[in-house]
Amino acid sequence: MQKGAILVLSGPSGAGKSTIINAASSQIGEYYFSISTTTRAPRIGEAHGVDYFFVSKENFEEDIKAGNFLEYAQVHGNYYGTSLKPVREALEEGKLVIFDIDVQGHRLVRAKMDDITTSAFITPPTLEALEERLRARCTDDEAVIVNRIENAKSEIEALGEYDFTIINDTVEKAAREFVIVAKAARLKQSKEDEAKFINTWLG
């Protein structure tokens, strides 16, 4: 059975992370895409276990006390967070767990599960290219676009904290590189695995 591993992806909004994952999904083996847990009610068209895990406030607070969240926050009176329970289950099943989180989230994953974590920062080749993509989507108003561009400028400063950088110039090339990174993530040895191997090797 394949070993479970964690792959953290970060990058500015509009970098094409979900497009790359979709393009590479058939070549990276079994994976679990980490989704957030929330106490807010589902919106029309949203499904439990697909868009979010929808839970009660009581359940969420019990899980906070039990230490089951990697991170959580309260936004507009509702909780949002990354539950470690489905992550642990997926790892036990030998899946690659993919997180699409920001720079801050990457630091939290590193702090808790560094020795099984690999990370990649996905970015368009230039700030101009990012701006073009955000405007081409026609989904956001000017204030949102300006805010995303400012966020991207500060996020790029954290590039050196990641194991790999994938420059999304063309989706085909970025997807090929993503497959290589995903395979490398599975090869990473945890400290426990290393110790076991050394003991076995020494007989």
What's the predicted TM-score (pTM) here?
Answer: 0.86
Q: Confirm if 186 and 90 have CB atoms less than 8 A apart.
A: no
CA distance 9 to 37: 19
Distance in angstroms (rounded) separating the CA atoms of residues 178 and 25: 10
- Give the number of other CB atoms < 10 A from CB of residue 114: 11
Query: For residue 60, what are the CA distances in angstroms to 29, 48, 69, 109, 172?
Result: 31, 15, 9, 20, 40
Angle between helices 142-155 and 127-137 (to 10 degrees): 150
pLDDT (0 to 100) of residue 1: 62
35-93: CATH topology is Guanylate Kinase phosphate binding domain (3.30.63)
Tell whether domain 1-30+95-203 is in CATH 3.50.50.60.
no
Where are the domains positioned within the chain?
A: 1-30+95-203, 35-93
The tens digit of pLDDT for each residue in 70-85 reads 888 888 889 999 999 9
Beta-sheet pairing, 164-167 with 117-123: parallel
Model pLDDT for residues 115-169, shown as the tens digit of each residue: 999 999 999 999 999 999 888 877 778 888 888 899 899 999 999 999 999 999 9
Two tokens, residue 149: 């561009």
